[in-house]
Chains A and B, each alone.
Chain A
Amino acid sequence: MNSAHRQGKLRLQKWYTATAERDKKKMVRELMQTVLARKPKMCSFLEWRDLKIVYKRYASLYFCCAIEEQDNELITLEVIHRFVELLDKYFGSVCELDIIFNFEKAYFILDEFLMGGEIQDTSKKSVLKAIEQADLLQEVTWTPGVTSM
């Protein structure tokens, strides 16, 4: 999954299969070229290499997921949407700048939502609760072995 800027700058990327750094760069470049060349009314799915690409544009950002042959395209489209909703809720009307300046937070939200490429929890509340709890915990020091929560 990754999200890219309209002019082809990568803002966020996450790989759920082991891929060499060099191949990643090549794949990202190729994928961005393909997706950015598509016109607005075209369908959100395309075949690419052995995979299917599902993408959606939100303002200046494109969000893309690469899924396998037998995976469900429409639900993947909603995975993207749910992720955008989560960013939106967390940052309060998210914009590209939020993702640039708080890139680590964007990664944490993504991790909380997807793990190993599978959705971890579809409830917006659960995911945000996890993130916000973490925010509250920031300066709390834990001593190992504490179980209270």
Chain B
Amino acid sequence: MNKMPAVSKGDGMRGLAVFISDIRNCKSKEAEIKRINKELANIRSKFKGDKALDGYSKKKYVCKLLFIFLLGHDIDFGHMEAVNLLSSNKYTEKQIGYLFISVLVNSNSDLIRLINNAIKNDLASRNPTFMNLALHCIANVGSREMAEAFASEIPRILVAGDTMDCVKQSAALCLLRLNRTSPDLVPMGEWTARVVHLLNDQHLGVVTSATSLITTLAQKSPDNFKTSISLAIARLSRIVTSTSIDLQDYTYYFVAAPWLSVKLLRLLQCYPPPEDTALRSRLTECLETILNKAQEPPKSKKVQHSNAKNAVLFEAISLIIHHDSEPTLLVRACNQLGQFLQHRETNLRYLALESMCTLASSEFSHEAVKTHIDTVINALKTERDVSVRQRAVDLLYAMCDRSNAKQIVVEMLSYLETADYSIREEIVLKVAILAEKYAVDYTWYVDTILNLIRIAGDYVSEEVWYRVIQIVINRDDVQGYAAKTVFEALQAPACHENLVKVGGYILGEFGNLIAGDSRSSPLVQFNLLHSKFHLCSVPTQALLLSAYIKFINLFPEVKATIQEVLRSDSQLRNADVELQQRAVEYLRLSCIASTDILATVFEEMPPFPERESSILAKLKRKKGPGNLPDIDARRNVNGNTEHSEKPEPANKSSFALLADLLPTNRPRPASASPIMLSTATLGSTPPITALLNLNSPPSTGASLLVDVFPESSCLTAPEVSEENFFRFVCKNNGVIYENQLLQIGLKSEYRQNLGRIYVFYGNKTSTQFLSFTSSVTSPDSLKTQLIVHAKTVDPIIEGGAQVQQILNIECVSDFTDAPVLNVQFRYGGTLQNIAVKLPVMLNKFFQPTEMTSQDFFQRWKQLGAPQQEVQKIFKAKHPMDTDVTKAKILGFGVTLLERVDPNPENFVGAGVIHSKNSQVGCLLRLEPNTQAQMYRLTLRTSRDSVSQRLCELLSEQF
């Protein structure tokens, strides 16, 4: 174990090897730390010593420090020595210096300047190995400072005629990295056209790197790289028709250039199918050839051969699915995947299930996918790997439609009995959604949900049982059946509390429908429910009490029995204040209210307004938007969607729950607490008004409503904080909200029509925050325009700690409103409730555009219609500083076009707003008048709402 390695290539650093060997010999963590501290002291004294160190020693010590750091220890010195190594003329010294900098970069500004200087020298050295080291360092560090220093230099190196191939490769990937980290700093320009032509390069390594770069760039601005389509197809065609020896070293286990093929296929997925017919048929030929090759006998038994071959095949299938236009190819792809479903390689079965999931959403291949249902069901039963079974569940969900829903639901239910705990909740949600969506008769739906509760009650979330109640209330044809079924289900000696909830609610509303049968007479129903009472938690008990008072209304004959129960000490003196209050109020109500009044108060619940199932929203939250095959998006032949449910932004707020269950013709309580209700505006609802007139205890009506939402909703809606909103128009990061307890910081990034916000919640106190939740809600009008998906956060934030939440955002169309972040938590026993307007504004979806003066004015004229232009003249609120103004305009998201406006004092900019539905080009001009301390801002876009909103946002900034 502790021998030194036999091979030590290059210049073995003996001292380093001894040190590593020592560390490995350490018997305990303590011994290791001791040895390390000794070494650190030694290195420190060497670095501080009077004697200047030679390059070799410096390299050796820096390398030791690096080793110590990689072991997981902190290093707080040696950076300077590493930087010194960068300017060494010895290759290995330089190399170790760069490695140290790449691994342990420090944003110390003095050092960064020195590092950048060394890099600059190496880039200018014309020595390819040095240039490569420098490029690697830039890519490895990838910091903003580096991007600022080199983003304009690297494109030059990349397209220069005399750059060596290996340097071109590094330059391409370095640029790719910078474009990922700081896209705003990588200038588009004349070089982009020349980069596309690298696809024609002789050197396949260069082509590979260039393809990666072009793909990244094309994802952001497809229009600028359209010419890459034909070049990529030509290149792909040459590869797939080549024999395996043609490409020599780029052939991998008898597969011609698999990496490059995959990359080219990825690049083509940035675009729709080519319009040019010749090009299109050439591509189709390529794809067919790839599909054909899958049927050929393997040229090698090695797994590398089949992996590489199938990697290309799967990427080709992705492209076919992306284009979604060639029925023959789609069906062939589906058949190919069908073969893989039964392959002995687990990896292939996994990928086939995954890929088929997307095929299921294409109208052309949906039917073909459905033919594999038995294989998929079998996979669910026999696969030994849970991640494969998970894919099978996803696929069954995606291929489900009215014709196979019953079969799929039955299979999922039976799988649920043995499913891994980790995926149970998701299966429950999926079953609930499918059962509702494809229910032909709702008795089946009711049965399915009750089965869900029976099999996996613990995983049935509130959304699921709320939903079944909503549906039963809305469909009178199923109410009798539901009452009968829950009554029967409740007979089981041990039933889940969720069933008691559903049972209590449904019998309270519709118990009368089965009361005619002596086996389910009112008294039998009541006794059955009450037999579960003592086993239940407080919220369920509260719900049962409400069911009891409804019983008094429905069945006068059990009034005395129920009153006795309410009157018992265990109720009237219940330690829980909510239960006690209900018992007291219900008892009193049952004594003083006439039957008419009772009947009015406990009128049957009116139907709920039709709305999207909150279950679907929950599943979307759980899976993340990308992972959930959207069964609603399946297109039919006319291009319409089969189901028209609109996506709803993920919404975990208790208000959504409220909204799901509360009928709209009752006032939506600002607070659900019984006391508050009497002060709320109640005039519109006769039942409760009647109650108030009676001067009876002030709450009863409300309690009925309270049952179906959790305690946390007992809150007044907080005022939405907007004070920092406009500060985020031109910047993406900062603190959006702060009070004595909590600080909320944001870091945001946007790309085309997508965005991501990292929300940081900092607990400023030394005490835990409990039951912490945060969710995002949008006003109704915004819901279809902007989709915000919030990941869940830990419910506890320790004192002094910070937690992060990720919000994923998609801009569907242009919008004006802003979503609201709702935060709730308990601090020292009190519930805190904060709402903050999230700074997601239209301008965040800008992509800057470069254009010449001539282009600018030509477009400016084209956008001359009165409604396209919005102008505002306003007084400067801040000092009129040119540099600050420039920074703000850039931060707004547009390019700042220099030397376009004849008046050099003016600022003009251009950009494109990206939304899923459209792209709106936008030109702006800002004219300062320093004497008057005024600005005139003019915006022209093709859409009036966009011009209007952008003007509102930007005019607040100066």
Most chain B CB atoms below 10 A, which of A50, A104, A124, A134: A104
Q: Out of B8, B174, B205, B347, which one reaches A43, CB within 8 Å?
A: B347
Asked if B127 is at the interface of the complex by the 8 Å CB criterion, the answer is yes
- Docked complex: B230-264 residues within 8 A CB-CB of A: 249-250, 252, 257-260, 262
- Docked complex: B171-200 residues within 8 A CB-CB of A: 173-174, 176-177, 180-181
Most chain A CB atoms below 10 A, which of B8, B126, B135, B347: B347
Minimum CB distance partner of B345 in chain A: A43
Minimum CB distance partner of B100 in chain A: A104
Asked if B52 is at the interface of the complex by the 8 Å CB criterion, the answer is no
A115 vs B273: C-alpha distance in the bound complex, in angstroms? Answer: 31
Q: Are A121 and B17 in contact (CB under 8 A)?
A: no
Q: A43-B347, A43-B385, A140-B91 known; A104 and B9 CB under 8 Å?
A: no
Q: Are A74 and B310 in contact (CB under 8 A)?
A: yes
- Per DSSP, chain B at the interface is helix
Q: Are B304 and A78 in contact (CB under 8 A)?
A: yes
Minimum CB distance partner of B140 in chain A: A111
A70 vs B269: C-alpha distance in the bound complex, in angstroms? Answer: 11
- With a cutoff of 8 Å between Cβ atoms, the chain B residues found around residue A144 in the complex are 89, 121, 125, 127
Q: A43-B385, A74-B308, A74-B351 known; A138 and B7 CB under 8 Å?
A: no
- With a cutoff of 8 Å between Cβ atoms, the chain A residues found around residue B204 in the complex are 122-123
Q: Are A126 and B311 in contact (CB under 8 A)?
A: no
How many B residues face the partner with a CB closer than 8 A? 82
A86 vs B784: C-alpha distance in the bound complex, in angstroms? Answer: 51
Stretch at the interface among B62-70, B527-535, B717-725, B884-892: B62-70
How many A residues face the partner with a CB closer than 8 A? 65
Asked if B95 is at the interface of the complex by the 8 Å CB criterion, the answer is yes
- Docked complex: B295-353 residues within 8 A CB-CB of A: 304, 307-308, 310-311, 314-315, 318, 346-347, 349-351
Q: Are A78 and B252 in contact (CB under 8 A)?
A: yes
Q: Are A134 and B170 in contact (CB under 8 A)?
A: no
A119 vs B209: C-alpha distance in the bound complex, in angstroms? Answer: 7
Asked if B166 is at the interface of the complex by the 8 Å CB criterion, the answer is yes
- With a cutoff of 8 Å between Cβ atoms, the chain B residues found around residue A75 in the complex are 258-259, 262, 307-308, 311, 315
Asked if B872 is at the interface of the complex by the 8 Å CB criterion, the answer is no
- A82-122 CB mask vs B (1 if < 8 Å, else 0) is 10000000111000011011111101100100011111111
Asked if B541 is at the interface of the complex by the 8 Å CB criterion, the answer is no
- With a cutoff of 8 Å between Cβ atoms, the chain A residues found around residue B10 in the complex are 105, 135, 138
Q: Out of A43, A122, A139, which one reaches B259, CB within 8 Å?
A: A122
Q: Are B17 and A149 in contact (CB under 8 A)?
A: no
- Docked complex: B62-110 residues within 8 A CB-CB of A: 63, 66-67, 70, 72, 89-92, 95-96, 99
Minimum CB distance partner of B141 in chain A: A18
Minimum CB distance partner of A47 in chain B: B387
Q: Are B95 and A115 in contact (CB under 8 A)?
A: no
Minimum CB distance partner of A11 in chain B: B70
Q: Out of B129, B140, B173, B208, which one reaches A122, CB within 8 Å?
A: B208
A97 vs B8: C-alpha distance in the bound complex, in angstroms? Answer: 11
A122 vs B3: C-alpha distance in the bound complex, in angstroms? Answer: 34
Q: Out of B9, B347, B627, which one reaches A135, CB within 8 Å?
A: B9
- With a cutoff of 8 Å between Cβ atoms, the chain A residues found around residue B72 in the complex are 25
Minimum CB distance partner of A124 in chain B: B249
A103 vs B67: C-alpha distance in the bound complex, in angstroms? Answer: 8
Asked if A7 is at the interface of the complex by the 8 Å CB criterion, the answer is no
Q: Are A102 and B9 in contact (CB under 8 A)?
A: yes
Q: Are A139 and B11 in contact (CB under 8 A)?
A: yes
Q: Are B5 and A97 in contact (CB under 8 A)?
A: yes
- Docked complex: B120-167 residues within 8 A CB-CB of A: 121, 125-130, 132, 135-136, 139-140, 142-143, 166
Q: Are A142 and B89 in contact (CB under 8 A)?
A: yes
Q: Out of A18, A72, A125, A145, which one reaches B249, CB within 8 Å?
A: A125
8 contacts between A and B (CB under 8 A): A47-B627, A75-B262, A75-B311, A103-B67, A118-B212, A130-B129, A138-B92, A139-B92
User: Contact residues of A with B, CB < 8 Å?
Assistant: 13, 16, 18, 25, 41-47, 50, 69-70, 72-75, 77-79, 81-82, 90-92, 97-98, 100-105, 107-108, 111, 115-126, 130, 133-135, 137-147, 149
Ordered nearest first, which 3 A-B pairs have the shortest CB separation?
A: A116-B177, A74-B311, A75-B311
